[in-house]
Amino acid sequence: MTSAAAGVLALLGERGESLAVAESLTGGLVAAELTSVPGASRSFRGSVTAYATPLKRDVLGVDGGLLAERGAVDPEVARQMAAGVRRVLGADWGVATTGVAGPDPQDGRAVGTVYVAVAGPDGAENVAELRLNGGRADIRRESVRSALTLLSMELSRNARAQDTEQNGGN
């Protein structure tokens, strides 16, 4: 997985942009993957491991009514976590993970239900819903990979959009 982290950090470095991460079910694994890459500090600002639901509200600014109504395992919660960590840590890009790694269901969601989200400049946002199989470690590991892949896709899409704007829309 380090190659995915290295690729994301290289893209961010080329653009002079920064990244912050909000993690729930992954418990810091996304941040650990990023910081395993030499030179990560050039682009990686930090992370918030908001494992407890009240931290999602109090630290990341996720809407309390949304959390009360839908629980923490929800696509909109993931989106708000990504936007919140971006704002709180002053980064260009935010990535978030929330879901159920097991062994038991949570908030009416089955084990393996995961949402990863990306928030970036100029309103760039994307949320992916995952249905993962395997044990707790497998689900967490695949969640990290998926979060980095989603970020890589958004960075590439955002770069193409900027290139199109700079070159007259062609």
d(CA 102, CA 20) in angstroms, rounded, equals 25
pTM here is 0.93
Q: Residue 45 — pLDDT band, cuts 50, 70, 90? A: very high
- Mean pLDDT on 131-160: 94
Mean pLDDT, residues 166-170 taken together: 52
Where are the alpha helices (H) located in the chain, listed in sequence order? 2-15, 29-35, 53-58, 64-70, 75-88, 136-166
Over residues 2-26, mean pLDDT: 96
pLDDT at 148: 98
* Residue 150 banded pLDDT, cuts 50, 70, 90: very high
Residue 169, pLDDT score: 53
Q: Which domains does the chain have, with CATH numbers?
A: 2-166 (3.90.950.20)
